[in-house]
Structure 1
Amino acid sequence: MRFFRYFWSPRLLPGPSCAAWLLLGGLLLLLAGQVRASHIVGGELELTHTTGTSYTLTLNLYFDAVAGTPDLIMGTVTASIFDKASNNRMQDVALPITSNALVSYTNPLCARPSLSTRKLVYSKEITLPTATYDGPQGYYVAVEQCCRNASIANIVNPANAAEAFYLEFPAVTRNGQPFFDSTPRLFPALSEYSCLNEPFYFDFGGADADGDSLAYDLVTPLNGHASINSPRPTASPAPYAPISWNAGLGATNPLPGTPTLRIERRTGRLSARPTSLGLFVFGVRCSQFRRGEKIGETRRDFQLMVLACPPNARPAVAVLPGTTGPVRYQPGRDTLRLGPGGNRCVRVRFSDPDLNSRLTLSVRAVNFTGPLPTFATASAGTVHAVGQPDTLSSTLCFPECADTKGKVFLLDVMVADDGCSLPKRDTVRVAFISVPAPSGPPTVATTAPVGRPLVVRVGDVVSFDVQATAPFNQSVQLELTGQGFAPADLGATLTPASPGNPLQARFRWPVDCRVLAGDSVRVFQLTAVTAPCGVRQTATVNVAVVVRYANTAPVLRPAAPLPPPPAPGEPPLVRLPLGATYSLDFIGTDVNGDNLSLTAGSENFTLAEAGMRFTARNGAGSATGTFVWDVSCGAVNLHRPLDVTFQLLDGTCRPLPQRQTIRFEVETPASPALKLYNIITPNGDQQNDEFRLPELPVDFCDNRFARIQVFSRWGQPVFESSDRDFRWAGGGQAGTYYYLATYTDGRHFKGWLEVKP
């Protein structure tokens, strides 16, 4: 056995089929000159659960777009639901048409004007009540229509043959519980054909929304009760008569072929090699199983057109190990060995003798899973066209990380042409052994002490270097994490200082108050990371940091003694007259050297309103401040207690503020003893001739004399003045009077007065 030395570990997939083939999934008419009623190509029913007891019932009906005329397309079809156990009719459902579209060819270059099909979709939401649809044997849906294409070659009297669309579904409740189910959705039908004496294949596998298991088999299509005289009857209950096969043909042998049409039970893959021209109908049943029990089935009728196609030669592909030279890889003899440091690419040459043939390369894994090799250069092109070569080449490269672990992996390298109806292929099976580049875990080191914690205080900056190293010159990265916390939340960073291998980085953490929100011990994890071939490998070193925190309360004291408080529990009282100026210095100190902030303020007035001001000189470990009060009416007019609080605050994580409150008052000026006069004798003897009140309280800031009012004994005002030095001689009328003196602060003085002749 020859060995070619290379190196890797892929998985290879089949290339896309050109779709120069297909089954006319319930598809089309061969001749345009058929009778007017010959238009049904095929179709199937679907029942999809939406929510609760609501379902969507759908009929997909394939219609001959060439021989059928538009007025044969029905706006509504009737579907009938029956009980399987009794054949009793449960309900008839009118399904309106919801979609009308042409079915596209997979490969438009293979289209034939005589082959065109419309997909008509009839759909409606229905309700299946649990109390009604609870029969243990389930239910079935049927739609009956006539007629099929007159040119069908494998059944008796096809122009008069009808079609019964059939679907089975389970009860919607079991053992008192809802039993939800959606029937399988089959692979869409395609407008293509098969070529005489050429392989035909089609991936017919469906999908089930509930994850049920599906099994496929070929069955005889159903004819039912419709006829050319009654083409659209309301469906009768089962059984439904099958179509009649021509002699020698049947459900498992629907068309002449070597082999005839077959379907794989588990995958739904159809295959055949037809040996006769014509249009052939066949039926496929998709049975649905849940937990090993059959719960329903879906049937679809199909038509497959077999045509005489132009000759199509098979393309050829060759694999050439090495970058130069004509040596070809020999399947079954050679094995590629792919190793680190060596060439991991091969050349691929592909060609086709046909003119204007477009070729496409693909790869497929045979006995392994994993990443596939990729084409580094063009993997498709045209040969034998004007200006085009007769042979193309490409480069196929295996991944560096492929590892066959000593086993031989098999890879198919394939080329496909664009021939109709199906592409032809050539395959080279390549055996290879791949060894990835050596790798190992990284290492990590730090200048921080390992095994004993760092002891720091709030305000310190922790800084150290970290180095990560990877073997075999691998790429390496550094990660910073914390045990139970995110380092970034505390302001810690890890900044690469120089890229490469080894990788240098600097750890930096300015320790601030955020650290006190959790444990006093913080463990930082510094991890070196490599990922050779996607496999993460790490090495970690832990750095523990213990944060110490203690705080002694600062001291606040006035520079001069304060007067005693007037009563226990009250602040010291400073009383001053109008016009005086009071000054007091404060001193703050802190043994911890914390930044100090000295302030003064009141809760119910601003210092400026009372003629007060405070100037502070703050700093680390000490602070001073000066309080000054210029005593004025501004303080008196506030009419509230003048309590000023001086506060010293230490700038640390858990401050211990110190406070001193002082109460300030303005002295009220003394007034003479108040005398209230009751009698005047305005007789001109210069003795007690006028009413006056000279001993009223003196004016004090805004607390001033407002007015004097004198009233007769009947309440009539007889005199009023805003002059505190007023004089009233009685108005010439003897008698008894009453007076009221008021001040701006609401105080008032009242009495009576007798005026005698």
Structure 2
Amino acid sequence: MRTSRSHRLLGTLLLWLLAMPAAWATHIVGGELDLQHQTGSSYRLTLTLYFDAVNGNPAALDSVLVAGIYDKATNRQLQSVRLPLTSNTFVSYTNPACAVGSLSTRKLLYARNITLDAATYASAQGYYVAVERCCRNVVISNIVSPGAAAQTFYLEFPAVVRGGQPFLDSTPRIFPALGDYACINNLFTYDFGGQDADGDSLAYDLVTPLNGHATAPNPSPAPAAAPYTTVTWTTGLGTAKQIPGTPALGIDARSGRLTVRPSRLGLFVFGVRCTEYRQGVKIGETRRDFQLYVLACPVNHPPVVTVQANGRRYQAGRDTVRLLPGGLRCLTVRYTDPDPNSVLTLTTRPVNFADAATAPSFTTSASGTVHAAGQPDTLTATLCFPACADTKGRVYLLDVLVADNGCSLPKRDTVRVAFTAVPPPSTVPVLTTSFPLPASPTDTAAVLVRVALNQPYTATLLGTDPAPNPLTLSATGLGFSLPSVGMRFAAQNGTGRATADFEWTPTCGLATSPNGLRVRFSLTQGGNLCTPHVLTRTVRFVVVRPPDTLAFQPPNIITPNGDGLNEQFALPNLPPDFCEAQFAGVQIFSRWGRLMYQSGSREFSWRGAGVGGLYYYLITYTDGRRYKGWLEVVP
């Protein structure tokens, strides 16, 4: 920390503030409204008010503020919402080492859930919310009569139904709050951009802050409809030049990034509008007012960073670092700062790529102090790219940044490094098995293997890799474990070669599932590879029944007359039992349906009932199969 710099800055700020008139009746630094959809027709309305914790009158810290909701087409008020204070915290500095006790801001949140029903909020022109409060800081430099100026917090939102369908929207959230000050004649930048929960497009511009109807005698009036008056700029200033400088205050329309190099000391208020678009159509907006101190700061020189590649200094815009397999993959980064006791920090930022596997990292310390007792004047760090970095034939850009700990905000230096990277070549292993081949090399469907009940089935697998790399063979039952059905898989894994044996003797039970059992066999390539390969082969095992003897020819006539020929009705060639498909029994009926005989034994025999004629038999199995026939008995 640069203690001497902070002390000098504190003294400057104290003298500047003591020379100003008392401001105990004022307190508003800025703020904005926010409307977030919760569920159904419920929304959360939040007012963020930034309060001057040093000059503000504590009595002006409201416990409740009142918002009005209006129809844009008619200015008719639809709701009056009491917003209770729900949070009271301090705004942090970007660089805490630059904090001074005479510059402190509180962040006050006022919030309540409200209902926006479709029957009421269906106007095509949309709606607006407003909260009015007086007064702003009396020491503001860029508006007329600041101690009597108020702020109207304002946002617009669309109808909650469109085309007969719900139209859900949350207003963009502008962040973060500005807790820092700017230094005269020094470039000041700050990210004032926001985010939108619905993914809508956001655009930013500068606007003149709204004043409204509030006054010092009536600092918190009842809600009132638009139009709202604006603050009055001092001579030479206006919406496009709210803080004088070269450049004057501006904002990036896409990112919301503020930029100014202030040329005048003072406290300056400014207004930012964030407009929300969906499919190219404006659906809402929110405004934020804030203020920025411009002080006379001690001189802070920017740090300097250089990059060395392959032993020589990298020339940004001219050189391209080429990372090749087996070559150097590290850069040497040197960084320094002419100011004493400067604490420096290195970071990197990808410019045109988002591949984390390609981004480099520092393998040595990326921070330190220069020009201090016992510390060097220049620091060195090593920045290395992953071995598997791959730019896929494109030129990637990487910013190497150094930042100091200067006040009010760190100063930076950047080197933009262009690079290409080619990963090491990889080999593809080969998996061969004794299983049937798939229909085509690219076919990923399971191959079918038919296995006989109670008969052993064996297969072999072989994996090879010419690299060689470690190889592992494995087998996984899809939806079951191999041991639970008696499957055995034994692998001998190794470098460049792996073998395995598979064996299974199916038995009744799960093994006879009509859809079969699927097993995935995998060959996995190991080692420090950029793109390790995994080859798989899925096999569906189906247990087949023994040959069905439905073609047996049972006799359709018997002659139980004692001559030893066709004496009885028997069926020795019945379809065999198969696990759950067991012989259940036989029944023989007369032609009038009378049960003449039945048996549960496969070895049954029937010699007739002593009466000739025509009979019918029915054979059943436990799996529901049924066999019918007729039989004539001739005595």
Q: TM-score range by the shorter chain?
A: 0.7 to 0.9
The Cα offsets for residues 261-317 of structure 1, whole Å up to 9 and x where unpaired, read as 111112211111111111111111111222222122111101111122222222222
Alignment partner, residue 501 of structure 1: 496
Quote the residue 1:389 is aligned against.
Answer: 376
The separation in 1 between residues aligned to 2:404 and 2:139, in whole angstroms, is 31
Aligned partner of residue 467 in structure 2, secondary structure? helix
Relative to structure 1, is the Cα distance of residues 454 and 177 closer, same or farther in structure 2, using a 3 angstrom cutoff? closer
Give the equivalent residue in structure 2 for 1:567: none
Alignment equivalent of 1:512, drawn from 507, 515, 519: 507
- Name the CA shift for 1:94/1:369 in 2 (closer, same or farther; >3 Å): closer
Whole-angstrom CA distance in 1 between matches of 2:486 and 2:403: 61
Task: Indicate the SS of the match to 2:386.
Answer: coil
Match of 2:6 in 1: none
* Greater mean alpha carbon deviation, residues 524-533 or residues 194-203: 524-533
Question: 5 Å matches for 1:157-196?
Answer: 157-196=145-184
Please state how far the C-alpha of 1:30 moved relative to its aligned partner. 9.4
How has the CA–CA distance of structure 1 residues 493 and 298 changed in structure 2, closer, same or farther, with 3 Å as cutoff? farther
Q: Deviations over 1:644-691 (max 9, x none)?
A: xxxxxxxx97289999xxxxxxxxxxxxxxxxxxxxxxxxxxxxxxxx
In 2, Cα distance between equivalents of 1:396 and 1:461: 60
**Residue type matched to 1:392 in 2?**
L
Tell me the residue number matched to 1:347. Answer: 332
RMSD: 3.2
Q: Which runs of 5+ in 2 are unaligned?
A: 1-16, 439-446, 549-576, 585-635
Residue 489 (structure 1) shift: 5.9
Is 1:335 aligned with 2:320?
A: yes
Whichever residue aligns with residue 335 of structure 1, its letter is: T
- Post-superposition offset of 1:467: 2.5
Pick from 315, 318, 335 the counterpart of residue 306 of structure 2: 318
Which of 473, 481, 485 aligns to 1:478? It is: 473
Residues 445, 228 of structure 1: CA spacing in aligned structure 2 closer, same or farther, 3 A cutoff? same
Q: Distance in 2 between matches of 1:234 and 1:121?
A: 19
Instruction: Quote the residue 1:469 is aligned against.
Output: 464
- Indicate conservation of the 8 Å contact 1:30/1:278, yes or no: no
1:201 paired to 2:189 = yes
Residue 716 of structure 1 corresponds to which residue in structure 2? none
Partner SS, residue 513 of structure 1: coil
User: How far is 1:445 from its partner?
Assistant: 2.8
The Cα offsets for residues 541-596 of structure 1, whole Å up to 9 and x where unpaired, read as 677867555499xxxxxxxxxxxxxxxxxxxxxxxxxxxxxxxxxxxxxxxxxxxx
Q: State the distance in 2 between where 1:340 and 1:476 align.
A: 23
1:403 Cα deviation from its structure 2 partner: 2.5
3-state SS, counterpart of residue 296 of structure 1: strand
Equivalent residue for 2:249, pick from 229, 250, 261: 261
Match of 1:415 among 402, 422, 436: 402
Residue 129 of structure 1: how far off its partner (Å): 3.3
Give the letter for the 2:523 counterpart. A
1:449-598 → structure 2 map (5 Å cutoff)? 457-480=452-475, 490-514=485-509, 516-519=511-514, 526-530=521-525, 535=531, 537-540=533-536, 547=543, 550=546
Q: Distance in 2 between matches of 1:541 and 1:54?
A: 53
1:360 aligned onto 2:348: no
| Alignment partner of 1:76 is 2:102 | no
Q: Secondary structure at the match of 1:381?
A: strand
Contact 2:209–2:231 (Cα < 8 Å) also in 1: yes
- Is the CA contact (8 Å cut-off) linking 1:357 and 1:383 kept in structure 2? yes
- The answer to whether the Cα contact below 8 Å between 2:211 and 2:229 also exists between their aligned partners in 1 is yes
* C-alpha displacement of 1:146: 1.0
What TM-score do you get using the length of structure 1 for normalisation?
A: 0.64
2:387 corresponds to which residue? Answer: 400
Contact 1:216 1:264 in 2 (8 A): yes
User: 1:432 is aligned with what amino acid?
Assistant: F
Deviation of 1:111 after TM superposition, in Å, equals 0.6
Aligned equivalents of 2:537, 2:104: Cα separation in 1 = 71
Structure 2 contact 23–139 (Cα < 8 Å) conserved: no
Measure, in 2, the Cα distance between the counterparts of 1:94 and 1:140. 16
Alpha-carbon distance between aligned partners in 1 of 2:217 and 2:490, rounded to the nearest angstrom: 88
Structure number with greater CO (CA < 8 Å, separation at least 6) is 1
Please list, as runs of the form range in 1=range in 2, the aligned pairs for 1:634-673 lying within 5 A after superposition. 654=579
Aligned partner of 1:264: which letter?
D
Kept after mapping to 1: 8 A contact 2:475/2:519 = yes
Q: In the alignment, is the contact (CA less than 8 A) between 1:34 and 1:149 conserved in 2?
A: no
Are the counterparts in 1 of residues 51 and 108 from structure 2 also a CA contact under 8 Å?
Answer: yes
Q: Which amino acid aligns with 2:98?
A: C
Q: CA deviation at 1:182?
A: 2.0
In the other structure, the counterpart of 2:237 is 249
Matched residue, 1:439: 426
Q: Is it true that 1:67 corresponds to 2:62 in the alignment?
A: no
Per-residue deviation, 1:450: 6.5
- Over the matched positions of the two proteins, sequence identity in percent amounts to 53
For 2:333, give the aligned amino acid: V
State yes or no: 1:108 paired with 2:96.
yes
Deviates more, 1:455-464 or 1:50-59: 455-464
Alignment of 1:608-627 (within 5 A): none
Letter in 1 for 2:111: S
Secondary structure, counterpart of 1:71 in structure 2:
helix
Instruction: Report the Cα offset of residue 410 of structure 1.
Output: 2.7
Contact 1:172-1:180 within 8 A present in 2 as well: yes
State the alpha-carbon separation in 2 of the partners of residues 88 and 544 from structure 1.
Answer: 72
Per-residue CA deviation, residues 310-336 of structure 1 (Å, 9 max, x unaligned), is: 2222222222234xxx63223344332
Query: CA shift at 1:95, angstroms?
Result: 1.5
TM-score (norm: length of structure 2) = 0.76
Q: Which amino acid aligns with 1:374?
A: S
- Unaligned 5+ segments in structure 1 are 1-28, 553-651, 660-757
Indicate conservation of the 8 Å contact 1:466/1:505, yes or no: yes
Deviations 1:165-213, CA, capped at 9 Å, x for gaps: 1121222333443333222211131311112222211122212222222
Summarize the Cα distance change of 1:506–1:341 in structure 2 as closer, same or farther, 3 Å threshold: farther
1:606-636: CA deviation from partner (whole Å, max 9, x where unpaired) = xxxxxxxxxxxxxxxxxxxxxxxxxxxxxxx
Spell out, residue by residue over 1:422-477, the C-alpha distance to the aligned partner (whole angstroms, 9 max, x if none).
Answer: 22222222232322111232101346786999875544554554332234334444
Q: What is residue 36 of structure 1 aligned with on the other side?
A: 24
Q: Structure 2 CA distance, aligned partners of 1:260 and 1:520?
A: 76
Q: Does 1:280 align with 2:268?
A: yes
C-alpha spacing 1:548/1:45, structure 2 compared with 1 (3 Å): closer
Match for 1:44: what amino acid? Answer: E
